[in-house]
């Protein structure tokens, strides 16, 4: 494993999940936890986590829904190794599996439309804009490479079953690009803003969830306020981030 000694032991969902992750580079915060909370999966259903990293979203989903089966796809081998370690450390080895592969590779061993639900946390920044982080792992997580946002969405839509769900968390200032890539391809789409607080600051993140093969109109949700004025999490955010409550999209 690349940098195996430089791994910290952290926790997700208020300590329910033991989580090993690299000390340097990209480190999981609340985004994968919220993404997992947005997926309306049930026991026995198959979920694909595209760009699964060290497995944070997959583990949170598996911990919340006993009997769900989550497959993580990640192109960096050392993170796949960490994700597998995390699955075993949390006794979720029967519920999660992690595969190494690139979503642009036609040889990925997945059949189209083979997952009830697909979730993804694509890189937020467009390639060529701004200065990428010097750490290679952080740059790969934060900045698009050969796979653009459109490639991510195309792959996710290819893998989800008709009337299943696709859930994406992304930067709010790129919502237009997300919706443009999804236009005419999903129904019942919900845009769910994540508000930093109640003081009128704009949302920095949004969750977008929709269903292929469904004709319902798009809705804009009130979303979730994350922080109180003193910086602590709101009761509603605590329920999701620490107590594994599902988001009500």
pLDDT digits (tens, 9 = 90+) for 55-92: 999 999 999 999 999 999 999 999 999 999 999 999 99
* Separation in Å, CA 174 to CA 42, 44, 108, 124, 179: 30, 34, 28, 8, 9
pLDDT at 3: 44
For residue 2, pLDDT over 70 is answered with: no
Which whole-number Å values give the CA distances from 49 to 6, 15, 59, 234, 242, in the listed order? 25, 22, 10, 27, 21
> Residue 1 domain-assigned?
no
**125-128, Cβ contacts within 8 angstroms, sequence gap of 24 or more:** none
CA 11 from centre of chain: 17
Question: Does 162 reside within a domain?
Answer: yes
Q: How confident is the model at residue 138 (pLDDT cuts 50, 70, 90)?
A: confident
The CATH number covering residue 221 comes to 3.40.50.150
Q: Is the pLDDT of residue 209 over 60?
A: yes
Reported as a single tens digit per residue, the pLDDT across 87-114 is: 999 999 999 999 999 999 988 999 999 9
155 in a domain, yes or no?
Answer: yes
pLDDT reading at 36 higher than 60: yes
pTM reported for the whole predicted model: 0.94
Rg, Å, the chain Cα set:
17
- For residue 116, being part of any structural domain is answered with yes
pLDDT at 128: 67
Q: Are 169 and 205 in contact (CB under 8 A)?
A: yes
Q: Judge contact between 164 and 157, C-beta under 8 A.
A: no
From 3, 243, 236, select the one nearest 137 (Cα to Cα): 3
DSSP state of 162: E
State the Cα torsion 76-82-85-90 to the nearest 10°.
-110
Containing structural domain, residue 168: 7-241
Task: Tell me how many domains the chain contains.
Answer: 1
Please determine, for residue 1, whether its predicted confidence score (pLDDT) is greater than 50. Answer: no
What are the tens digits of pLDDT across the range 210-223? 999 999 999 999 99
């Amino acid at each position: 494993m690349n940098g195996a000694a430089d791994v910290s032991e952290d926790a997700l969902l208020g300590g329910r999940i033991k989580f090993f992750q690299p000390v340097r580079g990209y480190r999981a915060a609340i985004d994968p936890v919220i993404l997992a909370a947005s997926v309306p999966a049930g026991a026995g259903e198959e979920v694909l986590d595209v760009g699964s990293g060290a497995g944070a979203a997959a583990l949170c989903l598996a911990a919340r829904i006993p009997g769900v089966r989550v497959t993580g796809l990640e192109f960096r081998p050392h993170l796949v190794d960490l994700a597998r370690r995390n699955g075993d450390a949390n006794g979720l080895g029967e519920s999660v599996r992690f595969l190494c592969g690139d979503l642009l590779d036609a040889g990925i061993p997945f059949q189209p439309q083979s997952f009830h639900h697909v979730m993804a946390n694509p890189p937020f920044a467009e390639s060529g804009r701004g200065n990428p982080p010097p750490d290679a792992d952080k740059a790969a997580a934060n900045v698009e490479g050969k796979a653009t946002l459109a490639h991510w969405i195309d792959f996710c839509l290819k893998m989800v079953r008709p009337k299943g769900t696709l859930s994406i968390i992304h930067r709010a200032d790129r919502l237009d690009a997300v919706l443009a890539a999804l236009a005419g391809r999903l129904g019942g789409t919900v845009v769910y803003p994540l508000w930093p607080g109640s003081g009128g600051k704009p949302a920095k993140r949004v969750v977008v969830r929709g269903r292929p093969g469904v004709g319902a109109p798009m809705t804009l949700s009130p979303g979730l306020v994350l922080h109180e004025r003193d910086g602590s999490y709101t009761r509603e955010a605590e329920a999701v981030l620490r107590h594994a409550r599902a988001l009500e999209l």
